[in-house]
Amino acid sequence: MGAAPQLKLKPERERSLLRRHPWVFSGAVEEVAGSPQSGGTVQVRAADGRFLAWAAYSPASQIRARVWSFDEAEVPGPALFEKRIEIALARRRAEIAAETTNAMRLVHGESDGLPGLIADRYGDALVVQLLSAGCENWRDALVGILRDRSGCARVYERSDTDARELEGLAARSGWIAGAAADGPLKIFEHGVEYEVDLASGQKTGFYLDQRDNRLRVRHLAAGREVLDCFCYTGGFSLSALVGGARSVLSIDASAPALAQAKRNLGLNPIAAGRAEWLEADVFQALRELRREGRQFDFIVLDPPKFAPTSKDAARAARGYKDINLNALKLLRPGGLLATFSCSGGVSPDLFQKIVAGAAADAGASLLLRERYRSAPDHPVRVEFPEGEYLKGLLLERS
Ligand code: SAH
């Protein structure tokens, strides 16, 4: 591959690649030699000419290239993708027992050595997201290998995120292989059943990353009056009910999500009388609940991403502070707060500081009981800290 196009970096700009961080930003590129196509393979070389990595070229993106391999002998192509996908699948098999769930993330992008590729399994259906020019370029090979190796009969594409737009790629979604089954798609997770809408649900249909944190909430919920804010299709709500919560009030702004949550409740042997659902904006609803004098002994806050990157961290911090402060005002002494952030731009350390600030303003003293992260099918690599986007704290009000 001596003829492969090359990205030559500016002096001193090879450092992050030497630490095996897989992104080459446009500002680090001195020169593009040859005429790489969008998503085509380039060699990344340091200013002194030494080989750094094989990467996929993204001409429209600030992330100008994404690394496939740091090994000069490992030329990108189906054989390399097959190897990476095999390793990713083996890791899931080792970490998640088949009786735990039939829904999991099989490939988590950069953290599995496949930048821009997401593959989630829901029963016999696979949902793929091709979020980089490189994945788009190798679409047929990647989808073929994933289908083969996962054994999934049906494949649905959900390449409809903002990340695609940043790569200059049009949104695309629909069945690539097989077709929708007759009834709704059902999954189970830690013994609880849910329906998943692959075509119009959020993300690829379900927030798989919270699986084990939902189980934890279930184990802590017995006898408590629970408030689940940003409940989506009822993940934490149903977990708390199964765990013996006295009552659960669940809030979300999305009517379709709430409708699905209620159907999910009906799939499980849970008495519906303990569940109350509210379609509302959480920021306003928390204030309204306070005016009504409502109190809870367990509150879950699992908001959407307020800060995709650290540029938005200040605005996001105000959002997190607001909901945590107003939730704490509803929490009885001895009550628990499970609070999450899935913003890549807010570090675990910053998140804890924001929550501490909210506690100070609420006049609440909080014991830090547990820390949460994403489930093991969303692995984190130390060389790619961006992969550690989800963090959570379990706090007890004294
Ligand atoms: N806890 C859920 C996932 C939450 S995702 C689970 O375990 O499955 C975040 C949710 O917040 C989405 O359902 C979205 O509809 C909702 N949402 C976003 N902004 C909101 C707002 N301002 N008020 C209420 N809900 C909101």
Backbone torsion region of residue 249, taken as left when φ is above 0, otherwise alpha when ψ lies between -120 and 50, otherwise beta: beta
Closest protein CA for atom 6 of ligand 1: 235
Q: Is the pTM of this model over 0.85?
A: yes
Phi, psi of 332 (to 5 degrees): -70, 155
Q: Are strands 125-130 and 366-373 parallel, antiparallel or unpaired?
A: unpaired
Asked if pLDDT for residue 224 goes beyond 50, the answer is yes
Query: Ligand 1 center to residue 128 CA distance, Å?
Result: 22
Q: What are the residues facing 374 on neighbouring strands?
A: none
pLDDT for res 241: 98
pLDDT for res 2: 52
pLDDT for res 1: 47
| Average pLDDT score over the chain | 96
Asked if pLDDT for residue 40 goes beyond 90, the answer is yes
Nearest to 68 by CA among 128, 11, 156, 4: 4
Asked if pLDDT for residue 181 goes beyond 90, the answer is no
Percent of the chain with pLDDT over 70: 99
Closest protein CA for atom 15 of ligand 1: 254
The answer to whether the beta carbons of residues 265 and 249 sit under 8 Å apart is no
pLDDT for res 312: 87
| Atom number in ligand 1 closest to CA 232 | 13
pLDDT for res 261: 98
| Atom number in ligand 1 closest to CA 257 | 13
Which position has the token pair 């908001």? 303
| Atom number in ligand 1 closest to CA 340 | 1
Ligand 1 pocket test target in 189, 208, 216, 232 with most atoms within 8 Å of CB:
232
Alpha carbon of 105 to those of 16, 100, 138, 259, 322: distances in Å?
27, 13, 20, 25, 32
The answer to whether the beta carbons of residues 32 and 5 sit under 8 Å apart is yes
Angle ∠(124,130,134) on CA atoms, nearest 5: 135
Query: Ligand 1 center to residue 257 CA distance, Å?
Result: 9
List, for residues 292-348, the tens digit of each pLDDT value: 999 999 999 999 999 877 788 899 999 999 999 999 999 999 999 999 999 988 999
Phi, psi of 11 (to 5 degrees): -55, 140
The answer to whether the beta carbons of residues 300 and 228 sit under 8 Å apart is yes
Separation of alpha carbons 21 and 346, rounded Å: 19
Separation of alpha carbons 23 and 26, rounded Å: 10
Closest protein CA for atom 11 of ligand 1: 230
pLDDT for res 129: 97
Asked if pLDDT for residue 210 goes beyond 70, the answer is yes
Query: Ligand 1 center to residue 229 CA distance, Å?
Result: 7
Query: Ligand 1 center to residue 338 CA distance, Å?
Result: 15
Ligand 1 pocket test target in 122, 196, 204, 230 with most atoms within 8 Å of CB:
230
List, for residues 106-159, the tens digit of each pLDDT value: 999 999 999 999 999 999 999 999 999 999 999 999 999 999 999 998 999 999
Looking at residues 168-195, what average pLDDT do you find? 94
Ligand 1 binding site (Cβ under 6 Å of any ligand atom): 202, 207, 210, 214, 230-233, 235-236, 251-254, 257, 281-283, 302-304
As annotated, the active-site residues are: 342
